[in-house]
């Protein structure tokens, strides 16, 4: 079992991650093209009224709010209080009540076995120490409960975006693993082991048609997506900003499946749902 790095180093790392996710405008990314993912995970987990549900790395509640609308008793947890605050506003508009708890997925402040469903939509994959985060998902879910994950795949578009940004980004901290690995079935099976019997594992595609021109997608990420903003700031420091912009433009051209003036991207993700032993 991997150990979580503790102490000052870990709190500085998490503070950097928190600031990164609070930068840009992640809530507008959800509204522009990510909204379908939350309800998709809620359906895959078959969330019902009365269940105690924990959404890990919930952001603005893209999965938590649809779960609460099903009548579940939902706790939305995330490292970034700014995103939880935006989620609270969204929930109020929708007329549902949830608990919003700022916490690190690698050290969740919840009792063992205290939830019927523990889920994460493109969320827990961004905690740097995968085994520590997986152990927390398992610990907080009751035996017989459901663990559901929706993660970008390494072979899909987000995996390729992280490979494109990698050479420009600040070096990853020691022991950190790459987020899209959570979209690999073998990796998820290794992390969860015999503690979770996966009954649903499938790849799906999010069709993105929100952008007129392919390169608008890259510009949108440079302005609003924390990891891209961090890579761009680091590239600027190294005098390589233009090189990054060119690499992102080429990436967008390569992944565009649309027609001139109507860009279309297929973003692949893995859904993995299982029962806690």
User: Any idea what the Cα angle at residue 28 is, between residues 228 and 273, rounded to 5°?
Assistant: 80
62 binds ligand SAM (CB under 6 A): yes
Name which position in 45, 53, 54, 63 contacts ligand SAM (CB under 6 A): 63
Residue closer to ligand SAM, measured from CB, 56 or 196: 56
Name which position in 45, 58, 96, 157 contacts ligand SAM (CB under 6 A): 58
106 binds ligand SAM (CB under 6 A): yes
Contact segment (CB under 6 A) with ligand SAM among 117-125, 136-144, 189-197, 248-256 equals 117-125
Q: Distance between terminal CA atoms of the chain?
A: 18
Name which position in 45, 127, 141, 272 contacts ligand SAM (CB under 6 A): 127
Residue nearest to ligand SAM (CB): 59
17 binds ligand SAM (CB under 6 A): yes
Short-list 185, 196, 182, CA closest to 151: 182
The CA distance from 183 to 270, in Å, is 5
Q: Confirm if 83 and 26 have CB atoms less than 8 A apart.
A: yes
The residues of the shown chain that bind ligand SAM, judged by CB under 6 A, are 17, 21, 30, 34, 37-38, 57-59, 62-63, 78-80, 83, 104-106, 121-123, 126-127
């Amino acid at each position: 079992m991997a150990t979580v790095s503790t102490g000052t180093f870990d709190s500085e790392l998490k503070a950097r991650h928190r600031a990164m996710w609070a930068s840009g405008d992640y809530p507008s990314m959800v509204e522009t093209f990510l909204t379908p993912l939350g309800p998709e995970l809620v359906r895959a987990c078959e969330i019902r009224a009365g269940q105690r549900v924990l959404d890990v790395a919930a952001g603005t509640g893209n999965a938590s709010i649809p779960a609460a609308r099903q009548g579940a008793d939902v706790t939305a947890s995330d490292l970034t209080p700014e995103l939880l605050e935006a989620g609270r506003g969204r929930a109020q508009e929708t007329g549902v009540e949830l608990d919003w708890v700022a916490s690190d997925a690698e050290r969740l402040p919840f009792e063992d076995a205290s939830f019927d469903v523990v889920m994460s939509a493109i969320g827990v994959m961004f905690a740097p120490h995968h085994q520590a985060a997986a152990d927390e998902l398992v610990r907080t879910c009751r035996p017989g409960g459901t663990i559901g994950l929706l993660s970008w795949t390494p072979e899909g578009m987000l995996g390729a975006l992280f490979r494109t940004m990698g050479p420009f980004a600040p070096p990853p901290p020691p022991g950190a693993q790459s987020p899209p690995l959570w979209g690999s079935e073998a990796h998820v099976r290794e992390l969860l082991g015999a503690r979770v019997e996966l009954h649903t594992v499938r790849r799906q595609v999010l069709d993105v048609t929100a952008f007129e021109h392919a390169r608008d997608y890259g510009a949108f990420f440079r302005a609003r997506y924390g990891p891209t903003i961090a890579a761009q700031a680091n590239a600027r420091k190294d005098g390589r900003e233009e090189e990054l912009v060119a690499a992102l433009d080429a990436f967008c051209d390569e992944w565009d499946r649309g027609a001139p003036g109507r860009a279309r991207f297929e973003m692949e993700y893995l859904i993995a749902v299982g029962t806690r032993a």
